[in-house]
């Protein structure tokens, strides 16, 4: 049996493990009626939003299906639908698991303590992690079995485009949803009314908790799913179109070029299989680690997965008669991912945070100035690391090396995504325990898990950006190879025009998403103010006074669905327009410009937002001498945190997908531009 | 006599007109003793800073002189010193004129009314405008006469490098100086103590007014001087190295290639001469327009200059036997400049400003979110305009067209710079009339002139960015031509590495400058608080209580001088490092990356900052229903304005120079990279 045949089989096994994990999570005790009621509201709100979102997406998918059918033929169109459906399924399952795991984490924290709570939330995240990895493998595997010959490999690109388009909508829509709710609830609740976070009197709290699932879980899942399949597919495309120079670089004595090409095409798929196996092992290792410090436990599971994968990858490459250089490229990619995570942690948890907190003493303006400075500053080190990994990967394995480095970074996505998805579950668990009044002891456990979740989320975002950058470059290389350009020449003014337009797009999408959040948050503020004003006894906490959270949920949902359309349409059609109007070289310039500007903006926004968030927490914890919760410096820091919210959770993450989606679209239409 | 011989002659005539104008301004009445005293403080503070800045620069110039001497030979090193000295002379003269004109504008407003005040401030600006245009012509003219042959033309590049390095230090140093003072004075004076802007009790007010001269006059002058000479020199370099295809495109029947090359090399210089003549006419036309609406008068003088120039340019091109296409390129550049100015005006004075003001109702956080969104949004239209002008210029005249479009945009710099330099003089005049207690009638006139100055400053910044973008692209083309690269290939990973590093640099410089302002403003806040606390009766306005403005001036000056060094060193040495370590192609990628990211950040920061500033003014003028000065929305808007200050006056403008300086350095070292 050929190697690719194992991909869907292994994928299905992984998927079964995901479903089993889900059933196990669901079998955990749910707690008292109040908790059940709250969690049901969050669950219903999240699933209702997802349903409405998918209705909008269905129209988009049908429309684009026909466009691709006309332009590129049936195979690509079919692959497109496959990619879209896989991505949507991941989101659906991950969200179901997250909204089931949140309340059970709170109950585990109440009944059995930290270790049990950690395990429940981690398993909740593992459903998403495994779904992403295994559905990716099933989808790309089947596409590869159908279209795995060098001549037909181009059809597989449609799968990546399907995954990418869904990802953009999910990220942008989810990001707007969650931040409109968060900013609105905080501005009225915490700042104006002076009631605590997640207070049940606040009508926006349910929407805020729904938003955590919608944005951080479903959005992040779609983003990583896209990088995962995008990196595999780009590498397949590069291998399919590789010329003799590249094949020479990859070869070992005793293998001919076409056999090598076939092996190089199947390698990314095999690595993904190996990565899935070690992800499962990493996830199960949590049973061993659950009683140690949770932050360490989360790190160790990732290390188990990544370490095992690297060792196995070395032997797989040998077995496929491919040069050892490919292993060095993979190692470079993996190390780059770790290093970017460390830098992200530094900028969002160390000296820079203290600097912002210190600047809060002179008011919100200096807090913002320093936060922006930290965001801007945090761009350079990750970029240098990405440059080093490009250099190493290219040195050892040419353009193929850049693609396979991204694959290596993402192969253990099963476990890295688990750690990512754990964060919002812990966050939600904290919200539920506050709303259900489970008391300070429980809240302390969930707060502890949530705090770790914030750090892992920041690291996860750094990882997402790093992998997006490498994936985008791999897709860019695949585009250049497919479109049969010898050069994309920057001396040619049309390339420069493409570069400038490409660079402007992330700024434009950033503007759209920031405005959307600002506008929707404004409406949310008005609605929450209205409820506090018009519902008698609500603010005073009278037991008969019930808030109307559904109205807030609806405001967020409407805003998200309306505002996600334009960015998505721009990202899909801009490359098509530039490609056909200005030519293949200009389109290449556009991709390069979008990647540079997009990665930089993403880094600036994510890190700046994370640093603002933690500067606020730093003051709340009393670490800024002479200041504390409620003081002037804290108020200033709350302003920074609020500005950082759409930065780190809406606009910043949208950039990753924007650049990948544009590159994928370019790759899909490449055959028409030759 | 050859055409280039006229350049220094005309330049010297222009310079004499500048000096005559200066004497005329100085001959105006200075007002009462109080005014004299205040203006003397500003004058002394500004000149003292300039002296200290130039001492630091002298060390830098000597150092780099020897480095260039070793690397590139004596001619380039000599040209470098020439460029640096010309730029410094411009700054010195412009600053002298500005600090003399400010108090006389206030006195003219008091004694004779608006028309007289407009004329004095305009003439004060004209000294700077004429100095920039004429010294540029003298310097480049002499360099051209010495090194005007195609083989020696490369030495002229040193002149541009000299001008560029001084510009970066002047912009960064001036920008930090002015905003540290402004932010510090505002935070304590307006926000904490609740005293009006420019109140004589505030010890930071003198530093703030010195800062207006140092940053807005000297900094802007050095920036535009650099674009002016940079565009001319880049175009000369492109013509000097033009291949037969380009020469064919530029030729008309009956001229051979070498004669055409000589004409194409001298054309930018001739256009600069023509531009100077029409600038003088434009400046003198103010005598006719001074009594109409000042905003219109300022526009008309620019139109007189630019209109006359365009007509003359058409005939000059014909006379030199160069294709009409070159005229279309110039027209494209000029129209692009006007259009970018209009867009800047839209974003900093229209609907977007109202949007930010509206968002201020829900507090500083939403004000900041919307301001950032406006800044991000404002990037796309100017970029599209730049793309169109590149397309047109290249279509009609190839790479030479891009260079000559920049020259066309900047040829009438004499009058455009006059309008730019008028703003800070009017601003200062307002400060002096407040401090000297000249009463509301005078203040109304100076406020009116200042408000127009804000708009012209915003337009001027848009123009500076547009011209910087075209100049950087022209320099980039000149670099590519000089280094004899057929392609700068984006498929080559080392180009991509260069692109990424280049893109990260503007973010890094942005971080450095924002942090510097934040830190220096913090020190300023501490000092002003101390004076209010320790000097008895100061805050109450007791006549014997004198503030100690010198200490504030010293804080700004020290911060500026210390913090300007690192950005300058990075900008000069980064291209050298990348060029020698990664090669000529990677350096080309780096320039492209820096240009894209730099132009975008500059647009975002300048426009966002301008919009915040005007949103605050919008509320102060009572145009936001139900809100006014001192209300909650106004307080939120003050936060936005304070954040916008370093955006629009420090970090944003630094980007223009960063990208030009890096391109110039690359152009200078190009012969070593072949």
Are B380 and A508 in contact by the 8 Å Cβ rule? The answer is yes
The answer, yes or no, to whether residue B459 has pLDDT greater than 80, is no
pLDDT at A553: 87
- Residue B70 has what pLDDT? 92
CB atoms under 10 Å from CB of A23, counted, come to 9
Cβ contact, residue pair A604, B507, below 8 Å: yes
Distance CA(A225)–CA(A76), nearest Å, equals 19
Q: Which residues of B touch A505 (CB under 8 A)?
A: 380
> Buried b vs exposed e over B79-110: b needs ≥16 C-beta within 10 Å?
bbbbbbbbbbbbbbbbbbbbbbbbbbbbbbbb
Interface confidence (ipTM) of the complex: 0.93
How crowded is residue B14: how many other Cβ atoms within 10 Å of its Cβ? 26
At B13-29, the pLDDT tens digits run 999 999 999 999 999 99
Nearest chain A CA: its distance from B383 CA (Å): 7
HSE-CB at B138 with a 13 A cutoff on CA atoms is 20
Which one of B366, B370, B645, B670 would you mutate to disrupt binding with A, by most A Cβ within 10 Å of its Cβ?
A: B366
Q: Is B189 helix (H, G, I), strand (E, B) or coil?
A: helix
Spans in chain A with pLDDT lower than 70: 1
Average pLDDT score over chain B: 90
Q: How far apart are CA A379 and CA A213, in angstroms?
A: 28
Q: What is the largest CA-CA distance in chain B?
A: 83
Contacts of B16 (CB under 8 A, 6+ apart): none
pLDDT of B460 > 80? The answer is no
| Partners of B108 in the β-ladder | none
- Choose, out of B479, B504, B505, B652, the residue to mutate when testing the contact with A (most A CBs < 10 Å): B504
Residues of chain B with Cβ-Cβ distance to A507 below 8 Å are 376-377, 379-380, 600, 604
The yes-or-no verdict on residue B1 having pLDDT over 70 is no
Instruction: Check CB contact under 8 Å for B525 and A496.
Output: no
For B322, phi then psi, to 5°, come to -110, 150
Mean pLDDT computed over B374-384: 95
State the nearest Cα–Cα gap between B152 and chain A, in angstroms: 23
Query: Which among A370, A496, A592 has CB closest to B473?
Result: A496
Pick from A365, A494, A522: CB nearest B359 = A522
- Judged by CB atoms closer than 8 Å, whether chains meet at B366 and A518 is answered as yes
Residue of B nearest to A595 (CA): B500
Chain B hits for A646, CB-CB cut-off 8 Å, are 369
B663's tokens = 């391109």
Nearest residue, CB atoms, A514 vs list B373, B511, B593: B373
DSSP A388-417: HHHHHHHHHHHHHHHHHHHHHHHHTHHHHH
CA of B582 vs chain A CAs: smallest distance (Å): 10
Three-state secondary-structure class, residue A112: coil
Residue B639 has pLDDT above 90, yes or no: yes
Q: How far is CA A630 from CA A621, B389, B427, B455, B591, in A?
A: 12, 53, 39, 40, 47
Q: What is the pLDDT of residues A567-595, one digit of tens each?
A: 888 999 999 999 999 999 999 999 999 99
Q: Do A362 and B639 touch (CB under 8 A)?
A: no
Chain B residues inside the 8 Å CB shell of A369: 183, 514, 517-518, 521, 642-643, 646
Q: Which residues of chain A make contact with B187, given a CB cutoff of 8 A?
A: 362-363, 365-366
Using an 8 Å CB-CB cutoff, list chain B residues near A387: 497, 500-501
Residues A652 and A658: their CA atoms lie apart, in Å, by: 10
In this structure, what DSSP letter does residue B651 have?
I
Residue in B366, B508, B596 nearest the CB of A499: B596
Using CA atoms, how far apart are residues B258 and B263, in angstroms rounded to an integer? Answer: 9
Shortest Cα distance, chain A CAs vs residue B409, angstroms: 19
Residues of B in contact with A597 (CB under 8 A): 503, 596-597, 600
| pTM for this prediction | 0.93
pLDDT band at B106 (very low <50, low <70, confident <90, very high): very high
> How high is the pLDDT of residue A611?
93
Residues of A in contact with B362 (CB under 8 A): 187, 521-522, 525
| pLDDT above 70 for B469 | yes
- pLDDT score of B338: 83
Specify the pLDDT at position A1: 66
Chain B residues with beta carbon closer than 8 angstroms to that of A486: 491
pLDDT in tens, B270-309: 999 999 999 999 999 998 888 888 888 888 998 899 999 9
On the question of pLDDT at B612 being above 70, the answer is yes
For residue B489, give the 3-state DSSP assignment: strand
Nearest CA of chain A to the CA of B182: how many Å? 13
Of B250, B249, B248, nearest to B268 by C-alpha is B250
Chain B: nearest CA to A131, how far in angstroms? 33
Which residues of chain B lie closer than 8 angstroms to A399, CB-CB? Answer: 491, 493
Query: Which of B390, B490, B600 shows the shortest C-beta gap to A592?
Result: B490
| Residues ≥6 apart with Cβ < 8 Å to B564 | B53, B56, B169, B172, B173, B176
Nearest Cβ partner for B511 among A363, A377, A596: A377
Q: Specify the pLDDT at position B220.
A: 85
Which one of B187, B366, B480 has the shortest CB-CB distance to A362? B187
- Tell me whether residues B503 and A643 touch, CB distance under 8 A: no
The arithmetic mean of pLDDT across residues B323-342, rounded, is 91
* Cα A662 to Cα B590: distance, rounded to the nearest angstrom: 22
Q: Sign (positive/negative) of CA torsion B368, B371, B377, B378?
A: negative
Q: For residue B549, which of B574, B575, B576, B527 has the smallest C-alpha distance?
A: B527
Find out whether B302 and B282 touch, Cβ atoms under 8 Å: yes
Q: How far is B143 from chain A (nearest CA, A)?
A: 27
Q: Which pLDDT belongs to residue A502?
A: 96
pLDDT by residue (tens digit) across B269-278? 999 999 999 9
Nearest chain B residue to A504 by CA distance is: B380
Q: How far apart are CA A79 and CA A82, in angstroms?
A: 5
Whole-angstrom distance, CA of residue B120 vs CA of residue B90? 19
Give the number of beta-carbon pairs within 8 Å between A and B.
Answer: 242
**Interface touch A384/B496, C-beta < 8 Å:** no
> CB-CB: which of A365, A372, A390 is closest to B642?
A365
Say what the pLDDT of residue B457 is: 75
CB-based contact B515 A373, cutoff 8 Å = yes
């Amino acid at each position: 049996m050929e190697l690719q045949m194992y991909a869907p089989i292994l994928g299905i096994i992984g998927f079964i493990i995901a479903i089993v994990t889900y059933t196990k999570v669901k079998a955990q005790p749910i707690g008292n009626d109040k908790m059940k009621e709250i969690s049901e509201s969050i669950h219903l709100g999240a699933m209702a939003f997802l349903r409405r979102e998918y209705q909008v997406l269905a129209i988009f998918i049908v429309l684009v299906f026909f466009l691709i059918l006309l332009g590129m033929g049936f195979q690509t169109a079919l692959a497109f639908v496959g990619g879209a459906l896989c991505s949507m399924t991941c989101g659906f399952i991950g969200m179901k698991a997250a909204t089931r795991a949140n309340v059970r984490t709170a109950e585990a924290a109440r009944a059995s303590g930290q270790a049990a709570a950690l395990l429940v939330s981690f398993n909740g995240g593992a459903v998403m992690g495994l779904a992403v990895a295994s559905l990716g493998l099933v989808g790309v595997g089947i596409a590869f079995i159908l279209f795995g010959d060098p001549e037909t490999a181009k059809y597989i690109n449609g799968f990546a485009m399907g995954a990418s388009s869904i990802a953009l909508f999910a990220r942008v829509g989810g990001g707007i949803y969650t931040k409109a709710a968060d900013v609105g609830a905080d501005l009225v609740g915490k700042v104006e009314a002076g009631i605590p976070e997640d207070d049940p009197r606040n009508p926006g709290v349910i929407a805020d908790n729904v938003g955590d699932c919608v944005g951080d879980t479903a959005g992040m899942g779609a983003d990583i799913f896209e990088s995962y399949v995008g990196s595999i597919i780009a590498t397949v495309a590069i291998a399919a179109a590789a010329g003799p120079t590249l094949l020479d670089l990859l070869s070992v004595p005793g293998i001919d070029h076409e056999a090598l090409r076939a092996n190089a095409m199947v390698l990314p798929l095999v690595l993904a299989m190996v990565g899935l196996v070690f992800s499962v092992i990493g996830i199960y290792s949590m049973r061993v680690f659950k009683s140690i410090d949770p932050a360490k436990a989360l790190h160790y599971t990732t290390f188990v997965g990544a370490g095992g994968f690297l060792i196995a990858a070395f032997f797989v490459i040998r077995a496929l008669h491919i040069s050892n250089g490919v292993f060095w490229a993979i190692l470079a990619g993996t190390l780059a991912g770790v290093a970017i995570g460390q830098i992200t942690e530094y900028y969002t948890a160390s000296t820079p945070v203290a600097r912002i907190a210190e600047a809060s003493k002179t008011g919100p303006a200096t807090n913002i100035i320093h936060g922006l400075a930290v965001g801007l500053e945090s761009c350079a080190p990750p970029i240098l690391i990405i440059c080093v990994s490009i250099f190493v990967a290219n040195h050892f394995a040419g353009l193929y090396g850049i693609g396979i480095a991204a694959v290596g970074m993402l192969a253990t996505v099963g476990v890295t995504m688990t750690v990512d998805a754990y964060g919002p579950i812990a966050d939600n668990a904290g919200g539920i325990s506050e709303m259900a009044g489970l008391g300070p002891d429980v809240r302390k456990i969930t707060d502890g898990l949530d705090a770790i979740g914030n750090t892992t989320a920041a690291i996860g975002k750094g990882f997402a950006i790093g992998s997006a950058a490498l994936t985008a470059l791999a897709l860019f290389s695949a585009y250049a190879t497919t479109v049969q350009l010898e050069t994309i020449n920057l001396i040619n003014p049309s390339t420069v025009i493409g570069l400038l337009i490409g660079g402007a797009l992330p700024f434009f999408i950033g503007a759209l998403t920031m405005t959307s959040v600002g506008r929707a948050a404004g409406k949310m503020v008005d609605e929450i103010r209205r409820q506090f004003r018009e519902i008698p006894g609500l603010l005073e906490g009278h037991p008969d006074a019930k808030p109307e959270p559904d109205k807030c949920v609806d405001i967020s949902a409407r805003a998200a669905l309306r505002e996600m359309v334009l960015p998505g349409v721009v990202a899909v059609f801009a490359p098509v327009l530039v490609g056909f109007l200005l030519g293949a070289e200009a389109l290449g310039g556009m991709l390069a410009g979008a990647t540079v500007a997009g990665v930089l903006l993403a880094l600036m926004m994510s890190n700046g937002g994370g640093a603002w968030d933690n500067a606020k927490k730093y003051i709340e914890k009393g670490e800024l001498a002479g200041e504390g919760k409620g003081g002037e410096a804290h108020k200033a820091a709350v302003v920074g945190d609020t500005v950082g919210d759409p930065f780190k959770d809406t606009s910043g993450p949208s950039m990753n997908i924007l650049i990948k989606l544009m590159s994928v679209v370019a790759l899909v239409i490449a055959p028409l531009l030759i």
